[in-house]
Amino acid sequence: MDYETVIGLEIHAELSTNTKIYCGCKNEFGGEPNTHVCPVCSGMPGTLPVLNKKVVDYAIKAGLAMNCDITPYGKQDRKNYFYPDLPKAYQISQFDLPVCQHGHIDIEVEGQKRTIGITRIHIEEDAGKLVHDDYGSGSMVDYNRCGVPLIEIVTEPDLRSSEEARVFLDTLKSILEYTEVSDCKMQEGSLRCDVNVSVRPVGQKEFGTRCEMKNVNSFRAAVRAMDYERKRQIEVLEDGGEVVQETRRWDDTRGMSVVLRSKEDAQDYRYFPEPDLVPIVISDEWIEEIRATIPEMPAQRKARYVSEYGLPEYDAFIITASKHMADFFDACVAAGATPKTVANWLMGDILKVMNDKELEEIPFAAADLAKLIALIEGGTISNSAAKKVLDEMFANPHDPEEIVKEKGLVQISDEGAIKALVDEVIAANPQSVADYKAGKGKAMGFLVGQCMKASQGKANPQLINKLLKEALEAL
């Protein structure tokens, strides 16, 4: 039997505010344990939270960018549970009146447009971090992250494959980056997602029983977890069993999930309105004020790169998917580089090194890439030398002109010097010269290679070609 996968996602994004959601402590990753903590965010009795206005601004901004309705009258609620990373024993979140509802994001999968519903976006506070001591008997608690503002984005169960989910997550990430509401640094946990998966026989209308998967720390892990869960549930059904609704924990190292808790053990959060915080009333003026701050979004920017610069659709998509990459591209073009050439460098060598090194950002300045391109186009260095310069720019970012000097990579374009090389190579390879004379085209390539080698890769290849041809014809 053929099965269809149904996937819904819950994504938590840490907002890039200066301060926490309910107190003035710094919202900053890293930092010595428990140094960004005050009585409010450590849950001391008698303290009162005060909502950071920027958090609401950012939630509205994200909501508008995802085509949501903004809730004119909202409130915050307490979600009660006991865990040591939550000092108050409740998390302030939103239950029935979240800041944003009923949105959607358009994605493109294998050339087809799909619209994925956004059920809601609400604001809430992050919990602290538990550090498990391997040798001691206890766990250490660091409350620096406690009270860091989050938005939770909940999708409709509209995704039908792990590939769709991956494209959706990439698209969502670029929206959050472009609107600058989150820095989306996966390694720092700024973006995390929970995955809901069910399967059903193709053609069946009702959804199958779903399982939720926690602890998915990267998009790659999310895709693996979804594929694993699809396979697991199909196996259960094929064996005549029933999928049991449960929460599972994804173990990426082992490539499998294990049961965390069953439906019966599902936590009863006993949500109730937060009495310490007053309602959030969002006027049309406030919404319009935020709407005016939304920049050109990835889809528009992609269209512009295609129409204005003539980039291929695919290149434009890849470059604009990352705001960092697109800003870098624009800065190179502004510095005078040819857009097409910049795109080729980004799509080729630069992306390759970034993927190999798992870099999220290009470590050197856009102006330096523009300079490197100018060095090639001006004939100062060859393409192969440029690759060496680029390696150095990644390893130890500094001025490419300096690198060219330090490494002695200046291209030899002096006709006299190259003529001498050509004569040397002709004298040393009589057999190849004879082959060339006998009409064997391959011999030319070999001779050019020998000249290049003799110059340690520095000779201008066009000049070698020209001078070698002239010398051979004159023989």
Partner 1 sequence: MAITKEQVLHVAKLARLNLTDEETERLRGDMENIIGFADKLNELDTEGVVPTAHAIPMQNAFREDVVIPSYDREAILQNAPDRDEEAFVVPKVVE
Q: Which does 17 bind (CB under 5 to 8 A by kind): partner 1, Zn ion, none?
A: partner 1
Least gap, CB of 26 to Zn ion (angstroms): 9
Helix (H, G, I), strand (E, B) or coil at 467: helix
Residues forming beta bridges with residue 109, ordered by sequence position: 112
Query: Could you say whether residue 51 binds partner 1 (CB under 8 A)?
Result: yes
25 counts as binding Zn ion under rule CB under 5 A: yes
Q: Which of 6, 14, 52, 354 binds partner 1 (CB under 8 A)?
A: 52
From CA 407, how far away is CA 389, in angstroms rounded? 8
Burial label, 135 (beta-carbon count in 10 A; 0-12, 13-18, 19+): exposed
User: Footprint of partner 1 on residues 122-151 (CB under 8 A)?
Assistant: 130-133, 136-143
Q: Are 233 and 243 in contact (CB under 8 A)?
A: yes
User: Among residue numbers 5 through 24, which ones bind Zn ion (CB under 5 A)?
Assistant: 23
Closer to partner 1 by Cβ: residue 132 or 254: 132
Residues 326, 301 contacting (CB under 8 angstroms):
yes
Binding status of residue 287 toward partner 1 by CB under 8 A: no
Residue at 323: amino acid letter: K
Measure the CA dihedral 405/407/413/414, to 10°.
Answer: 80
What is the C-alpha to C-alpha distance for residues 369 and 399, in angstroms, rounded to an integer? 9
CA atoms within 13 A on the CB side of 170: 19
* Contact pick of 12, 29, 33, 38 for Zn ion (by CB under 5 A): 38
CB 83 within 8 A of CB 139: no
Q: How many residues bind partner 1 (CB under 8 A)?
A: 52
Residue 287 CB, shortest distance to partner 1, in Å, is 14
Let me know the angle formed at the C-alpha of 107 by 313 and 54, rounded to the nearest 5 degrees. 110
**Count of residues of this chain found to bind Zn ion when the rule CB under 5 A is applied:** 5
CB 146 within 8 A of CB 125: yes
Q: Which stretch binds partner 1 (CB under 8 A): 52-60, 111-119, 292-300, 398-406?
A: 52-60
46's contact among Zn ion, partner 1, none, with CB below 5 to 8 A by partner kind, is none
Please state the length of the chain: 475
Residue 41 in contact with Zn ion, rule: CB under 5 A: yes
Question: Which residues contact residue 160 at a Cβ distance below 8 angstroms, ignoring those fewer than 6 apart?
Answer: 4, 5, 6, 7
89/244 with CB nearer partner 1:
89
Q: At closest approach, how far in Å is the CB of 47 from Zn ion?
A: 9
Q: Which does 205 bind (CB under 5 to 8 A by kind): partner 1, Zn ion, none?
A: none
Summarize as ranges the residues that interact with partner 1 (CB under 8 A): 17-19, 23-26, 32-39, 42, 50-54, 56, 73, 75, 80, 82-84, 97, 130-133, 136-143, 249, 260, 268, 270, 273, 275, 277-281
